[in-house]
Amino acid sequence: MKANLQTGLIHTVAGTGEAGWSGDGAAACAARLNEPKSLALDAEGNLFIADSENHVVRKIDRKTRCIRTVAGRIPAFEAGATPIPPASTAEEVDHDPLAETSRVNMHAVTQQTDLSGTVRYIAIGTALAARFSGDGGPADQALLNFPTAVVVDRAGHLYIADTLNHRVRRVDAATGVMTTVAGLGKPRYVGDGGLAVEAGLNEPAALALSEEGILYIADQSNNRVRAVNLATGMICTVAGTGTAAYNGEGRAATEIDLAGPSGLAVASDGTLFIADSFNGRIRVVDPVTGLIRTVAGDGGEYRYQGLDEPPSASLSRPSGIA
């Protein structure tokens, strides 16, 4: 959706409202999306969409308003896929890494949709874990696994939080080639002070890029925010201790607990904003002192209070900021 802040009017720019996959090469408003999680604009005004449940990133051309897939592909049906859910299925799996629980077992199923829109069902085993391929080749032939965030740098390079592959990946603007820029592909916390491609991430959920070429990663299930210097490829932690808790304000950001951070934004002066989702707060890290404080949310149980002072307002799992 797009809202005109001057007129207050809103209109749809992509999607039909029906979950699924369709529409590449045609008008974006006629395409089907499946749980889009993130948006980014490049310097020319083209819009990139993390089409998460379709495991792809799509691009809307600003001039033609047509949509196409630029990263990821709809995989072929897994072995054992059937046109109806297995009889033993008791529940549908929840892939969303923001959910409280993920019910992944042999009695859970996921839907698969091929390029024609045909739906099949498959019992979850290793199917989701196998959705990684394509580094060093064309991005639109690579496999992504629930991408939840996208950001574009000044040169047009696209960065993708490949969440369930526990990686951040990059699509080169000139060649269209996909590479990994951060993450081993295993859900763990290792690697600070070394190369980002040798570091462990755990469900990276948001990205932000500073004017100085620092890529910030909301390392959600590690309860940290990491930073990659794109010039050197080195990674470090800039906020969070790894403990999912709340332990106060006004100290060094690396001494303060975060709980499932899932939104990031960085200002032109380097000020970093963090959606500290399960703490119900928006935190800000000072670029000079490195100290962290809350600017919105009181951390209490969500309750709508209307207009209020930001620090005393109640937020319910904030997950996106700009």
Residue 262 pLDDT more than 80? yes
Q: Residue 69: inside a domain, yes or no?
A: no
Domain match, 99 and 233 both = no
Claim to verify: residue 238 and residue 98 sit in the same structural domain: no
On whether both 303 and 175 belong to a single domain, the answer is yes
299 pLDDT band (50/70/90 cuts)? confident
Q: Are 108 and 192 part of one and the same domain?
A: no
What is the rounded average pLDDT for all residues in the chain? 85
Q: Are residues 298 and 174 in the same domain?
A: yes
Asked if residue 108 has pLDDT above 60, the reply is no
Q: Which domain holds residue 241?
A: 37-59+134-312
- Is 206 found in the same domain as 138? yes
Does 248 lie in the same domain as 119? no
Do residue 138 and residue 266 come from a single domain?
yes
**In this predicted model, what pLDDT tens digit does every residue of 187-212 receive, in sequence order?**
999 999 999 999 999 999 999 999 99
Q: Residue 196's pLDDT is what?
A: 99
Domain count, the chain: 2
User: Which has more pLDDT, 307 or 266?
Assistant: 266
The phi, psi pair for 219, rounded to 5°, reads -85, 80
Query: Could you give the maximum distance between any two Cα atoms of the chain, in Å?
Result: 59
Which residue type sits at 110? T
Please say which residue of 130, 145, 165 terminates a domain.
130
Instruction: Flag the least confident range among 103-112, 125-134, 141-150.
Output: 103-112
106 and 83 part of one domain: yes
pLDDT-derived band of residue 247, with 50, 70 and 90 as boundaries?
very high
Q: Are residues 125 and 140 in the same domain?
A: no
pLDDT of residue 200: 98
Q: What is the model's pLDDT at position 107? A: 38
Label residue 125 by pLDDT band (50, 70, 90): very low
> Which pLDDT belongs to residue 119?
53
Convert the chain into a string of H (helix), E (strand) and C (coil): CEECCCCCCEECCCCCCCCCCECCCCEHHHCECCCEEEEEECCCCCEEEEEHHHCEEEEECCCCCEEEEEECCCCCCCCCCECCCCCCCCEECCCCCCCCCCCCCCCEEEEEECCCCCEEEEECCCCCCCCCECCCCEHHHCECCCEEEEEECCCCCEEEEEHHHCEEEEECCCCCEEEEEECCCCECCECCCCEHHHCEECCEEEEEECCCCEEEEEEHHHCEEEEEECCCCEEEEEECCCCECCCCCCCEHHHCCECCCCEEEECCCCCEEEEEHHHCEEEEECCCCCEEEEEECCCCCCCCCCCCCHHHCCCCCCCCCC
d(CA 214, CA 208): 8
CATH number of the domain where residue 200 is located: 2.120.10.30
pLDDT at 115: 46
**pLDDT on residue 254:** 98
259 in any annotated domain:
yes
**pLDDT score at 89:** 41
